[in-house]
Structure formats: C-alpha cells, structure tokens
Amino acid sequence: MGYKKIELDNGLKIACLPMPKMKSISLGIWINAGGRYEEEKLSGISHFLEHLVFRGTEKRSARQIKEAIEGVGGTLNAFTAEEFTCYFVKIPYQYLELSLDVLSDLVLSARLEKEDMEKERMVILEEIKMYKDLPMHYVQELLGGLLWPGHPLGKFLCGTFESISQMKREDIISYRDRFYQPQHMNVIACGAIKTDDFIKIAKRYFSSLKKGEKITFSKVEIKQDKVQTNFLEKDTEQTHISLGVHGLPRAHRDRFALTLLHIILGANMSSRLFEEVREKRGLAYEIGTQIKRFQDTGAFVVNAGVEHKKASEAIKVIIQELIKIKNEPVDKSEFKRAKEYFIGQFLLALEETMEHMLWLGENVTALNKVYTPEEILKELDKTKIEDIQRVANDLFKNEHLNLALIGPISDKDRREIEKNLSL
C-alpha cells in the first residue's frame, strides 16, 4: 500500500494513504495531549478543551462549524484519550480542502470564550454524573485507580467535580497554547486522495506554525506487590466486575502474543470466558476481555456484569480460566482460530476509510511509525503457540492482580471473593 509520512521543519507530521476505490476521505488532526499529561488540579482539561473548541472559532460560530461539514454530507467529531486527542471528519472526497480548513480552524483558532466555557462546564459535570450512574463504565475507572494509583493514568478522563468546577479560562488557554503546537500534531488522511495534493494543502495550513516546547509525560512506576481490591457498595441491577492485571507497553515485542491471548480468553462469543462463564454456567450476560496499551505500561482486563448472588462464583470461574491458560498449553486449532480471527478483523476494518485513518493516526501519534498491514501480519506470523502461555505466566500473578466491583455486596460475599483472588 502507498503510505506516505513526512515531517515538516516545525515538527508537525503528515501521513496519508490513498484508497482510490473509495468515494470518501477520513481526516484527523491528532495531538499529543491527553489525560496522562495533566496535573492533578487540572484533571480533565484535555477533554474540557476538546469540548470547548466546538463552541466557535475566530471565523466560525458553533453552528457554522457543524454546517460546514454536515452541509456537504460529512460528519465531524473528536475524542480524548490518555495519550492523545483527535479531531476528525469523514467527508465526500471532493471536500478535502474544506475539511482541512475546518479542522485547522478548530485546533488553531478556537475562541475559548468565558461564556462558552461556563456552558460547557455544566455539560461536562453532567457527563461525569452520567458515567457514575453507569456502573459498567464507572467500575473501569475504579480499576484504573488500582492499577495506577496517584498517576494521571488512574484518573477519570472527564476530570472530577472539583477540578472541572474550579478550572479557569486562563488554564484552558495556557494548556492549548502549550500542547496545540506543531511538534505535538499529526495530520492524517485516508481515502480518495492524491498524496502530493494532500501534502501540499496540509502544508499550506500548518507549515507556517512556529515550533514550541516539546512536552513529555510522567513515567509510570509499578509498585504493586499484592492483590488489590476496590468494592463500591451500590444498589444496582447487576454486580459489575472489572478484574485487571498490569499488561505490556504499546510497542512491546510480545504485543501480538498478548492480542492472541485476549482473543482466546475473551474477545468474542467463541472465547473461553464467554463459553465457561455465560454459555455453560449462565453466570453473566456480558463477559469479555480488553487490552489497554500505553507508551510505557498497559493492562489486561476482564469485564463482566453478573447477577448479584452469582458474583463470587463468576469471579472464581474467571480466575480458574486465567490459571488454566497459565498451566496448560493452548491447543493448535485454538491458536490457529485466534490468528485467523485477528487477520480477518484487522483486514476488514482497514477496508473503511475512517477505521484506516484511526489506525494510521494512532501508529504515527503514539509510535511515530507507519506500519503497513503486511508488516503487521508478518509480525503476527512470528508469534509461536508457546508464546501465549509464556505471556500468561508473565502477567497473571498475584502481585499484578486488581479487582474493582460495584454492586450491593455483603461482607460475606466480599470475604468469599477475596479468598478466591489468587493466581
């Protein structure tokens, strides 16, 4: 495939992939600004700023921003993660320059007015309340606090009531001026583009920006030496469980073995946990695993929603499955299915311009590298069946184990669960 990546003199990176058969373009401006860059008193400022830029720029009102993209059939949105923020559009191919004009306007010329900030502050405070009322999401925030206590990675991306309530306009402007600089930015496009044309237009919007100070985040130090738990007693319809161990950094040599471990244990309906916890025993409706990947750390997580009286049994079965994959080699047919599942899902996703842009953007922003699909599949092919068991043994240890739980739990159930928390 014809990937292209260049870096301008001011540090901004431009990367793209022409997809000639497509009729759309997906374009993103990625910025190295996210939750883990934040001071505790400014927790949630990355997400606050992401919301606020849509309130208006020097040349467009909030309505004009939306109408510019939606008026030609496109979509416009953004998200904040721990290590980056992304503003993106998907639009018919003939509107490439319009999409660059709108996105550059958002990230470079947002007004950040005090009146707009007060309106958005109320929206975010309601968002925080909403997530706290959604135990399936809030339990994962509690788990983050166990995995990375006292570190920004262990904080809620939306911030806290205290931090959002006290945040000032000067804080937002200072943060924007420090982080929304060319050396922290990547402009990514996939779809019906011509490489030279796209780079020429992108340069026109960004090459004149002056390079600023390079900012880094605080590294993670893992000090856990025993099992940790956080039980939040709450009257909920289900008991929500998030069980996690410390994982691997984003670029770790065993990342593909970890991905296959995730597929085998809990990525789909034919996975072990789905089969054992839901199908055989009826202990949960939702059960699955996820991988969190960051520059210098990560996590492997099992999430489940279970009937209250079955929480202890469900956790016991989950632990048994983690122990089993440590102690027993993976079957060759199961290993082959996991690989084929990864290949199929990966290639199917890359057929769509937005998914391809998100994948390319994350690689460039987090790793400063463009991986081709062929390189990814070659690395996957190097993964051996014995690597799965080895990685499971490296990760599934008591000194890595954490459990967050939300539900109406009794002292008896708590003691029973804690007794079974051993890998």
Alpha-carbon distance of 65 to 103, in angstroms, equals 9
CA distance 228 to 104: 45
Output the pLDDT for position 218.
87
CA nearest to 124, candidates 38, 54, 29: 54
Neighbours of 25 (CB within 10 A): 27
Has residue 379 got a pLDDT over 80?
Answer: yes
* Across 328-341, average pLDDT: 98
Q: What pLDDT was estimated at residue 127?
A: 97
Model confidence at 214, pLDDT cuts 50, 70, 90, reads confident
The strand pair at 284-293 and 401-407 is best described as unpaired
Indicate the pairing of strand 228-233 with strand 75-80.
Answer: unpaired
| Mean pLDDT, rounded, for 239-266 | 98
What three-state secondary structure class fits 224? coil
Question: Residue range 341-360: average pLDDT?
Answer: 97
pLDDT, one tens digit per residue, over 395-416 is 999 999 999 999 999 899 999 9
Give me the pLDDT at residue 41, please: 96
pLDDT digits (tens, 9 = 90+) for 291-330: 999 999 999 999 999 999 999 999 999 999 999 999 999 9
The pLDDT tens digits of the residues spanning 37-83 come to: 999 999 999 999 999 999 999 999 999 999 999 999 999 999 999 99
- Alpha helices for 133-229 (secondary structure H): 135-147, 161-166, 169-179, 195-206
Those residues whose C-beta lies under 8 Å from the C-beta of residue 182, and which sit 6 or more positions away, are 8, 10, 11, 12, 206, 209, 210, 211, 212
pLDDT reported for residue 315: 97
Does the pLDDT at position 1 exceed 70?
A: no
Mean pLDDT, rounded, for 142-165? 97
pLDDT for position 105: 98
Going along the chain from its start, the domains and CATH numbers come out as: 4-206 (3.30.830.10), 228-420 (3.30.830.10)
Q: What is the DSSP letter of 57?
A: B
Arithmetic mean of pLDDT over the chain: 97
Q: Is the pLDDT of residue 274 over 80?
A: yes
- C-alpha to C-alpha distance for 383 and 123, rounded to whole angstroms: 46
The mean pLDDT of 15-27, rounded to a whole number, is: 97
End-to-end CA separation in angstroms for the chain:
44
pLDDT of residue 117: 98
- What pTM was computed for the model? 0.96
- Pairing status of strand 284-293 against strand 298-306: antiparallel
